[in-house]
Structure 1
Amino acid sequence: MTGEPFVIKTGGAVLPGVSLGEGLPVVFLHAGVCDYRMWEQQMALAAEMGWRAIAYDRRGYGGAESPDEKFSHLDDLEAVLEALDIQAAIFVGCSLGGGLAIDYALRHPGRVIGLVLIGTSVTGAPWTATQAEEAIEMAEEDAWERGDLDLLNRVQAHEWLDGPRGPSGRVGGAARALFLDMNARALSKPPLTQEEERESAWPRVGEINAPSLLIVGDEDFTALVDRHEHLSETMPNAYALVMEGVAHVPSIERPDLINRMLEEFLDAFSGDDDDDDEDDAE
């Protein structure tokens, strides 16, 4: 990815990232089976639209390095923003990245311009699974207990990229190659056993007033689709979309669709639509 690379040191950790473009910041937070490379096409779009796109690898992912020390991903996010002199931003998060964005919005509501949450986790949210979903979770657990990281990676690709109820290999090509590479890097990292537990956000999501775009794929876990519905009914300024035939990582599975949704969301803040109307009137 072109752009300006950076490295943030927080505690004993080294967190690499990239900044692309100029303007108001859009901070991209990756999923727990990916690293910041999952956002390449969305970052390019944001930069072309006149925003400053920023993404980084959290501890345990991508190129990040960290000792096994007490830490919080939320504190690390604050350290990144402080180091980059970011006072407020739009946050785009997928899965665990979305959960981190929600926690940050609850801690610093005045610093969140808007949220895009894709298949988001929510700290403290309930989890249920269908029989088919439980079967793939058991396969994942078996691969983990056997210490077969290659098998675990392939099972998780089925679980999160293809979708737990879809056929294995449903998503192929460059998207699958990227997923397998990102997740392999995460699986190869030494375990971090001292992450601080964050307060439950589930009872408080209705406090988030920032304009929010909620996206989920209908091939994702049913618990995440149900969660999406709950958030759409609970968050006062949320607009919700369900993507047909897409699972948990749509930014690499269907970047064309995600880019279209992101472009419309960012346009609402930039005033581009108003400018276009004025141009048409002339």
Structure 2
Amino acid sequence: MVGTPFSVAVRGATLAGIAAGEGLPVVFLHAGVCDKRMWQSQMDEVAEEGWEAIAYDRRGYGESVSEDVAFNHVDDLVAVLAARDIHAAVLVGCSMGGGLAVDFALRYPGRVLGLVLIGTSITGAPAEVSEVEQQLEMAEEDAFERGDLDMLNKVQAHEWLDGPRAANGRVGGAARTLFLDMNGVALRKPELTLEERRADAYQRMDSINTPTLLMVGDQDFNYLIERHDHLSEEMPNAFAVVLEDVAHIPSIERPDLVNPLLLQFLDAISGDADDEDEDE
């Protein structure tokens, strides 16, 4: 990845990160089947547009290493921000990274300038899957129980990269290669058994007044699309977009769709959009 690597020591772990650019900070939080590399395209453009782009690997992912000790991902995010001397930032999260961004925003509302949530996890949210989706989850469980990590990786690529209702291999090329590498690293990390439970967020989403951009792919799991619709109604300051022919990891599948939306949102956060309107 292009940028300056950094590391943060926190509670039995060393978290590996990368930063690029200067300006107001935008912190990217990766999905549970990826690592910080899923944000390369977005970080490049954000840094070029005058923001500081930061991403890091959570415990159990990428280049980060951790002992099997009690931990909380929100506390780890606090430690990363402190190490970078950041009080407030825009948080961009996909899937589990989005759930982390939400939990941070609920705990520290004054420290979040904006939220971008893509196919987001929400602590305590319902997640009912269709029959087709259940079949993939059964294949995933079978591969896990047999210890076949290569097959598990392939099944999860079908679930999360292609989309559970799409043909296996719908997304190929560099995006698939990157997904399989990122998820393959995570699958082979030592198990961390002492993660602390975070409080349910699902019933409190209407209390988040932070400007929020919601994105979801129309090829994602049905329950995530339904959750996207629910959040667009519950969150008082949210703008929602459905991405066509895209599944759960649009940042690597279709950066050409994600990047303009992200930059427009950041412009609005910074006031650049208002300035441009005055000039016209």
1:26 corresponds to: 26
Q: Are positions 1:234 and 2:234 aligned together?
A: yes
In structure 2, the residue corresponding to 1:71 is in which secondary structure? coil
2:255 corresponds to: 255
2: distance between equivalents of 1:130 and 1:173?
28
2:92 corresponds to: 92
2: distance between equivalents of 1:102 and 1:275?
29
2:17 corresponds to: 17
1: distance between equivalents of 2:237 and 2:270?
18
1:35-76 superposed Cα distances (whole Å, 9 cap, x missing partner):
000000101111111100000000000001001111111110
Aligned length: 280
2: distance between equivalents of 1:195 and 1:272?
40
1:166-217 superposed Cα distances (whole Å, 9 cap, x missing partner):
0000000000000000000000001000000000001101110000000000
1:5-55 superposed Cα distances (whole Å, 9 cap, x missing partner):
100000110100011000000000000000000000101111111100000
Displacement of 1:275 after TM fit?
3.9
In structure 1, what residue type is equivalent to 2:46?
A: A
Runs in 1 of length 4+ with deviation above 6 angstroms? none
Counterparts of 1:123-138 in structure 2, within 5 Å, are 123-138=123-138
Displacement of 1:278 after TM fit?
5.1
Displacement of 1:277 after TM fit?
4.3
2:225 corresponds to: 225
2:103 corresponds to: 103
> Could you say if the C-alpha distance between residues 207 and 278 of structure 1 is closer, same or farther in structure 2, counting changes exceeding 3 Å?
closer
2:46 corresponds to: 46
Displacement of 1:269 after TM fit?
2.0
Q: Percent identity?
A: 67
In structure 1, the residue corresponding to 2:26 is in which secondary structure? strand
In structure 2, what residue type is equivalent to 1:111?
A: R
1:188 corresponds to: 188
1: distance between equivalents of 2:276 and 2:20?
25
In structure 2, the residue corresponding to 1:155 is in which secondary structure? helix
> Could you say if the C-alpha distance between residues 208 and 278 of structure 1 is closer, same or farther in structure 2, counting changes exceeding 3 Å?
closer
1:238-259 superposed Cα distances (whole Å, 9 cap, x missing partner):
0001111100000000001000
- Asked whether the equivalents of residues 268 and 274 of structure 2 are also in contact (C-alpha less than 8 Å), the reply is no
1: distance between equivalents of 2:239 and 2:274?
20
Structure 1 residues without counterparts, runs of 5 or longer: none
1: distance between equivalents of 2:176 and 2:47?
25
2:67 corresponds to: 67
Aligned CA-pair RMSD: 0.9
1:67-117 superposed Cα distances (whole Å, 9 cap, x missing partner):
111111111011111111110000000000000000000000011000000
Q: Are positions 1:197 and 2:200 aligned together?
A: no
In structure 2, what residue type is equivalent to 1:210?
A: T
1: distance between equivalents of 2:184 and 2:70?
24
Displacement of 1:270 after TM fit?
2.5
TM-score w.r.t. length of structure 1: 0.98
2: distance between equivalents of 1:23 and 1:248?
29
In structure 2, the residue corresponding to 1:147 is in which secondary structure? coil
In structure 2, what residue type is equivalent to 1:17?
A: G
2: distance between equivalents of 1:276 and 1:112?
24
